[in-house]
Amino acid sequence: MTTLTEKLAAVQMVLLDVDGVLTEGRIVYADSGEEIKSFSVRDGYGIRMMLDAGIQVGIVTGRHSPALRHRCLDLGIKMIHEGARQKAPLLAAIMADTGLSAAAIAFMGDDLPDLPIMTRVGCAVAVADAHEELRRRADMVTTARGGRGAVRELAEALLKARGKWDSLLSSLTE
Amino acid sequence: MTTLTEKLAAVQMVLLDVDGVLTEGRIVYADSGEEIKSFSVRDGYGIRMMLDAGIQVGIVTGRHSPALRHRCLDLGIKMIHEGARQKAPLLAAIMADTGLSAAAIAFMGDDLPDLPIMTRVGCAVAVADAHEELRRRADMVTTARGGRGAVRELAEALLKARGKWDSLLSSLTE
Amino acid sequence: MTTLTEKLAAVQMVLLDVDGVLTEGRIVYADSGEEIKSFSVRDGYGIRMMLDAGIQVGIVTGRHSPALRHRCLDLGIKMIHEGARQKAPLLAAIMADTGLSAAAIAFMGDDLPDLPIMTRVGCAVAVADAHEELRRRADMVTTARGGRGAVRELAEALLKARGKWDSLLSSLTE
Amino acid sequence: MTTLTEKLAAVQMVLLDVDGVLTEGRIVYADSGEEIKSFSVRDGYGIRMMLDAGIQVGIVTGRHSPALRHRCLDLGIKMIHEGARQKAPLLAAIMADTGLSAAAIAFMGDDLPDLPIMTRVGCAVAVADAHEELRRRADMVTTARGGRGAVRELAEALLKARGKWDSLLSSLTE
């Protein structure tokens, strides 16, 4: 049986849901119809660490959000799949495009529409406050909630599984 | 005596207060006078599940909110009653229009102005952080707070009472 | 010695600090310089209850906020004192204008700049998360935090002290 | 060995990270690309107290934020270093410019990019919810979280270490 550390070490691409994962799950509208989205600065640093380590990071969301694209531009995320109501066929397309196997892909989600993709990737991660049906099926449940460091927690777990954490830390404290 | 499950199974229409129920009860103004409202993405999925199951969903609020209407458009909610300071006469009008009996209607509220309508519907639901006078009179008190999953919790309870939950779940995990 | 109930029963005017009392104490700026303020819908209902009961409600704040004025317009609050860095002289002016004695005035605050006015009114109220120097000197400390129902809690305490609570409640549940 | 009180008493300049220290660490975008930042009103009062006591206050952040500059204008903070991805060289430049030694400088941070500067100042402070690698290396860990009073807590600790707290408090309560 594959351990969590082995699963994490095999990951070459991380796919992230947005609402409830990169955010706290609030859909915020101004009267004008403009939407507002809140991200975690520490998740952002985690995403940079993953990209720097050569792990691909992609976004998979059922909604459309210009605010999200501004944040992705900040962080250097280029793979953004919006309007993905059916996440399982999208995963198949991503695997075909990239040539990656399921075992090389991690997905982090929070709610039922994420189940079809969660059950198909090699490393399924649920945020601390995910729906219980996701937490029960996840390979890893973060201790941090969505939008409050869950992505960062996965990023550090991935770096540790690859044995890259200690050198990163000493580069900051030397 | 009717059990909660029986009451839930009889529900054909869910009426929702807005501030404190679909939101966390924050009234947010920009200097310009524009208002901003925060909804829960998971409540939204719950509302879709109810509509898909043939349960009508309506909004009953004492205020007026363009931001709310943007969210309703997202979710496919067409029945929006704004400016409803007196909620009991409105309930009577809704029952007359739709031909539904009180037993077929659930209402979810959080504060005193909701009492007159709560005491008249077949299934009265209070959010976890509702005023104690509502919690004391409710048929069901959610474990989730307003704007943080209370509506979703009702949606799942309704689907379970109708025996539709397991099939929904297996359609997502097959 | 005067009991809290006696002090509350004597109150004819409630003066409220804004940031940390009517709000959670967040100062929110957009890049444009526009500010955004979040109020509690339930505090708003409490303010209406006080006004309906003939209790005057006034705002005393060191800052300037168009967003605040939009909320006051909603609620029917006409007495707004902005830019009040020195709150004690302002209290003296308010007492002179209205002819009210200190015993007829309640003030609710959260931080050190509120101390000079708190120590001069008949009924000094601190929010649950007020600075300890305020909580220690207050006649009443609410169980609710600022911006999360503290004002509402005072409103209900005032109505109960005046013996008006039960009739209000039965008018809603009859 | 120098005690914390001695370290605090030696501080003549406080450098503050922004996201996660002066804010709760949320990066908030509107669809338009405009950013929104939330600060604590009580931190603001703490910053005024430090400036009034002759302690210099500066901002050190890796990002760029017009919203931050609006808040700094409110508070009288003139020293703002934006775009500081490498914080250690910046500290060296600040020390050269001001002639202050490391012992005269406090820094408050929350995350790994703050480590290089934290390990070089005389008084390193981490917010309650800082990354554990910062908390472990800090001279002081606040009980308040970033954006929720951490800066205020440091301000009061500095005034107390300088023996200025009691006189400030009595000036407010006399």
D109 sits in which H/E element = strand D105-109
**Domain of C14: which CATH number?**
3.40.50.1000
Q: What is the pLDDT of residues B97-147, one digit of tens each?
A: 999 999 999 999 999 999 999 999 999 999 999 999 999 999 999 999 999
Chains in contact with A via at least 3 Cβ–Cβ pairs below 8 Å = B, D
C74 touches chain B (CB under 8 A): yes
The yes-or-no verdict on residue B174 having pLDDT over 80 is: no
Of C25, C33, C116, Cβ closest to residue D42: C25
Q: Which chains touch D (3 or more CB pairs under 8 A)?
A: A, C
ipTM score assigned to the predicted complex? 0.96
Interface list for B 102-121 with C (CB within 8 A): 110-113, 115-116, 119
Q: What percent of chain B has pLDDT over 70?
A: 100
Q: With beta carbons under 8 A apart, name residues in chain B contacting A133.
A: 169, 173
Instruction: Please indicate whether, in this complex, the C-beta atoms of B28 and C37 are within 8 angstroms of each other.
Output: yes
Question: Which positions in chain A touch B37 (Cβ < 8 Å)?
Answer: 28-29
Amino acid D88: pLDDT: 87
In a domain, B174, yes or no: no
Chain D residues in contact with C28 (beta carbon < 8 A): 36-39
CB contact under 8 A, C42 and B115: no
- Over chain A (174 residues), the average pLDDT of each successive run of 10 is 94 98 98 98 98 97 96 97 90 96 98 96 98 98 98 98 95 85
Looking at residue C173, its pLDDT comes to: 84
pLDDT > 80? residue D114: yes
Q: Count up the domains in chain D and report the number.
A: 1
**CB atoms near residue C118 (< 10 Å):** 28
Contact by Cβ (8 Å): D109, D17: yes
CA-based end-to-end distance of chain D:
39
pLDDT at C168: 93
Q: What is the rounded average pLDDT of the residues B48-52? A: 97
Are A31 and B172 an interchain contact pair (Cβ–Cβ within 8 Å)?
no
The pTM score is 0.96
For D4-12, what is the mean pLDDT? Answer: 98
B166 and chain A in contact, CB less than 8 A: no
Q: What is the mean pLDDT of chain D?
A: 96
SS3 for chain C is: CCCHHHHHHCCCEEEECCCCCCCCCEEEEECCCCEEEEEEHHHHHHHHHHHHCCCEEEEECCCCCHHHHHHHHHHCCCEEECCCCCHHHHHHHHHHHHCCCHHHEEEEECCHHHHHHHCCCCEEEECCCCCHHHHHHCCEECCCCCCCCHHHHHHHHHHHHCCCHHHHHHHHHC
> For residue B156, is it left (φ>0), alpha (ψ between -120 and 50) or beta?
alpha
Residues C87-142 have pLDDT tens digits of 889 999 999 999 999 999 999 999 999 999 999 999 999 999 999 999 999 999 99
Q: What is the pLDDT of residue B31?
A: 98
How sure is the predictor about C27, in pLDDT bands with cuts at 50, 70 and 90?
very high
Question: What pLDDT score does A87 carry?
Answer: 86
Domain region containing D112? 4-173
For position C162, what pLDDT does the model report? 96
For residue range B3-37, what is the model confidence (pLDDT) as tens digits? Answer: 999 999 999 999 999 999 999 999 999 999 999 99
A111–B42 C-beta distance less than 8 A? yes
Q: Which residues in chain A touch residue D27, judged by CB atoms under 8 angstroms apart?
A: 38-41, 44, 71, 74
The whole-angstrom separation of Cα C79 and Cα C68 is 12
Q: Do A38 and D28 touch (CB under 8 A)?
A: yes
Which amino acid appears at position A51 of this protein?
L
Contacts of D45 in chain C (CB under 8 A): 111-113
3-state SS class at B139: coil
Determine the residue of chain C that is closest to D166 in CA distance: C133
Residues in chain C closer than 8 A to B137 (CB atoms): 173
Q: Does residue C70 register a pLDDT over 80? A: yes
Q: Which residues of A touch D131 (CB under 8 A)?
A: 42
B40/B45 Cα distance (integer angstroms): 9
C150-161 and C165-173 helices, crossing angle to 10°: 110
Cα B56 vs. chain centroid, distance in angstroms? 10
CB atoms D42 and C20 under 8 Å: yes
Q: What is the mean pLDDT of residues D83-98?
A: 92
Q: How far is C65 from chain D (nearest CA, A)?
A: 13
User: b/e string for A79-104 if b means 16 or more Cβ within 10 A?
Assistant: ebbeebeebeebbeebbeeeebeeeb
| Closest CA–CA distance from residue A33 to any residue of chain B (Å) | 6
Cβ–Cβ < 8 Å for A124, A11: no
Whether the pLDDT of residue B1 is over 80: the answer is no
Chain C hits for B131, CB-CB cut-off 8 Å, are: 42
> Quick check: is B21 in a domain?
yes
Q: What is the mean pLDDT of chain A?
A: 96
Q: Does D133 touch chain A (CB under 8 A)?
A: yes
Q: Do A38 and D26 touch (CB under 8 A)?
A: yes
Which two three-digit tokens encode residue B28? 């947010």
